Amino acid sequence: MSAAARAWAHAGVLCAAVVAVDQAVKAIVEARLFLGEEVDVPGPLGLTLSHNTGVAFGLAGGAGVGLVLLTVAALAVIAYVFGRDPARPGMWAAAGLLAGGALGNLIDRLAAGEVTDYIDVGSWPAFNLADMAITAGVVAMVLIYLRDAEPGAERG
């Protein structure tokens, strides 16, 4: 198997894992909490069931079909960027996290017209595992490109 094929396979497995865990946790939260209910857990996090019609962290609420189309376009961009150099070290992880998070929230949006959020950190808007995967994927991709932009950086 080529390095590019391995990278695509790894990204696909990570994407599927993110979607599966995201959807499972959302189902558990939906089954056990009432809308707006707050649950204290040890540490800085809390649980609060909320529904979000916007993008990550509640931004651009109420955009509906526009957000579905934006998500599909973002997935196409992720596939394009990843497809340009899938064997770039770490790129499979960034692409898998981004795609998995985007698909996890897209499933919610298509099924219910809104995304289930449940992680509460003080005054920050509620978010979910898919949002965390998207954020981690963006950070990873930026770091990969910054690493490769350094003079003398080697790409494998």
**Where in the sequence numbering do the catalytic residues fall?**
117, 131
Helices (H), 33-152: 65-84, 91-112, 129-149
Query: How far is residue 42's CA from residue 102's CA, in Å, rounded to a whole number?
Result: 28
Q: Residue 132 in contact with residue 97, Cβ under 8 Å?
A: no
Tokens for 89, please give them: 């070290």
SS3 call for 38? strand
Distance CA(95)–CA(11), nearest Å, equals: 6
What is the distance between the terminal CA atoms of the chain, rounded to a whole angstrom?
16
- Sheet with 115-121, edge to edge strand ranges: 38-40, 46-52, 115-121, 124-127
Nearest to 122 by CA among 53, 43, 54: 43
